[in-house]
Amino acid sequence: MRRSAPRLPLRRASFGGTRAEYLSQVCGLLWPAPALVTLTSPGRDPLAVTPPGGGVSARPTPAPAELIVIPGRARPRLLVPTERRAAAAAVQGSSGPGLRTARLRKRAIRLAMASGAGPFLFRDRLRIQAPEDSPTIVSYLRAALGSDIRLSMHVGAPRANRKPVLQLLTAAGEPIGFAKIGIDPLTSRLGLAEREALAQLATARLGGLTVPRVLHYGTWNGLGVLVLGPLPTWRERRPLSDSRLAAAMREVAGIGGLTREPLAAAAHWQRLGARLSAADDRPDRAALGSALGRLADQAGGTVLCYGSWHGDWTPWNMASTGRGLLVWDWERFAHGVPIGFDALHHWLQTEVVPGRRDPANAARELIERAAALLDPFDVGADEARLTAVLYLAELAARYLADRQIEAGARLGAPGGWLIPAITSELARR
């Protein structure tokens, strides 16, 4: 008989809350009952992560699987396999905004794992006890991919589109792929969209960038499971010039062809409006709606060039290596947006990483910098400012439609930074 462990405290039922709460919710989906997941810590009582299911003791249960919890169970950020080489490779393949301190920390942890000291430095474990034939994400992926797997999971900060992205490895640390798991309507839609985007990109004959291959897509336990081939992000990094980055973004913009249309007649304008109408009725929505009305009055007839964009092209969604420019995370790929959106997004998102600067200031500065950022896209100065306003509106509408405020996302409220930049530019014109 197993001792029943106290439950990890949960404040909310949805996929929100602290990293520990989110981990608990996700574990319940990836290892449903009769599997049992606990968080162990030397000298302390284990915490039950998933509710104890019935029947475990009646069926043969192999030795529990364990993942190392980094840095510890109170603030779980990364789970890695216990095998030395798989653990080091998992740390290497994990990512986040590439701040210097984060890179140094990651290097130190990778070296600790590679030397075998990691399991002694990080002593908390996620322990998974599953009867031999019980369906879990591991049994599903093993069957889908036809190979034994070890997995690693980064536990991200709160946001509406937070989802488990499982790094899949062999026990020897060879990369197998990445499984992105749709756990709710938004993340399931994003997984399907990424699958569709990668199918289009596979036929686009891109020269300046490399994108992941889709290895598998399926649904399991009500979850969408998209498995992507691993890009060789472990290769030595090469500096990336602004011109090479812009050339790659131009190549993506050209997928599906370019069109020239008046701002208020373009399909993009209709989509923006539709997205906003579908968002919850809150003050930010009304403020953005009236700003867009003003924009249509001021510049609805201005002709812009439209093309495709990645949709979330940031330094942490790409790597410049000796094997070329690797770009992943294509779930927001879309056609028919004013060209240059990717360049604007890349600049703004880099400026607003945690701790760097005031986001409202950065959003205003984006408009001032738009002409320079969009010069490689042959966009004139006035059109560039308009494109920046449309980009800020696009991001604001995305956050509102995705309910980022409710998810507790940092910068999730567009009224605090994006909308003021839009309205001050409209007042200036």
Ligand X SMILES: Nc1ncnc2c1ncn2[C@@H]1O[C@H](COP(=O)(O)OP(=O)(O)OP(=O)(O)O)[C@@H](O)[C@H]1O
Residues that bind Mg ion (CB under 5 A): 317, 329
233 makes contact with ligand X (CB under 6 A): yes
152 forms part of the interface with ligand X (CB under 6 A)? no
- Answer with the entry of Mg ion, ligand X, none that 425 interacts with (C-beta below 5 to 8 A by kind): none
**CA distance linking residue 28 with residue 46, whole number of Å:** 16
Give the residue closest to ligand X by C-beta.
Answer: 95
Q: Which does 306 bind (CB under 5 to 8 A by kind): ligand X, Mg ion, none?
A: none
Closer to ligand X at the Cβ: 150 or 163? Answer: 163
Among 135, 156, 273, 359, binds ligand X (CB under 6 A): 156
Minimum CB separation of residue 225 from Mg ion in Å reads 17
Distances (CA, A) of 281 to 121, 275, 394, 405: 49, 12, 17, 13
The entry of Mg ion, ligand X, none that residue 150 binds, CB within 5 to 8 Å by partner kind: none
From the list 25-33, 132-140, 323-331, 347-355, the region that binds ligand X by CB under 6 A is: 323-331
Residues 106-135 that bind ligand X (CB under 6 A): none
CB of 231 to ligand X, least distance (A): 4
163 binds, among Mg ion, ligand X, none (CB under 5 to 8 A by kind): ligand X
Q: How far is the CB of 343 from ligand X (least distance, A)?
A: 18
Question: At residue 220, what are phi and psi to the nearest 5 degrees?
Answer: -145, 130
List, in sequence order, every residue forming a beta bridge with 334; answer none if it has no partner.
309
Q: Which of 16, 131, 158, 212 is close enough to bind ligand X by CB under 6 A?
A: 212
Q: Which residues contact 153 (CB under 8 A, 6 or more apart)?
A: 26, 67, 78, 79, 164, 165, 166, 167
Alpha carbon 153 to chain centroid, angstroms: 13
Which residue, chain included where needed, has tokens 């909310």? 12
Q: Which of ligand X, Mg ion, none has residue 8 at its interface (CB below 5 to 8 Å by kind)? A: none
Restricted to residues 159-198, the positions that interact with ligand X (CB under 6 A) are 161, 163, 165, 178, 180
Residue 39 CA: distances (Å) to CA of 44, 135, 166: 10, 20, 18
Query: Smallest gap, in angstroms, from Cβ of residue 211 to ligand X?
Result: 8
Segment interacting with ligand X (CB under 6 A) among 19-27, 244-252, 302-310, 326-334: 326-334
CB of 94 vs ligand X, minimal distance in Å = 6
Among 22, 31, 328, 347, binds ligand X (CB under 6 A): 328
Residue 320 tokens, joined: 């410049």
Residues that bind ligand X (CB under 6 A): 93, 95, 156, 161, 163, 165, 178, 180, 212, 228, 230-231, 233, 316-317, 328-329, 331
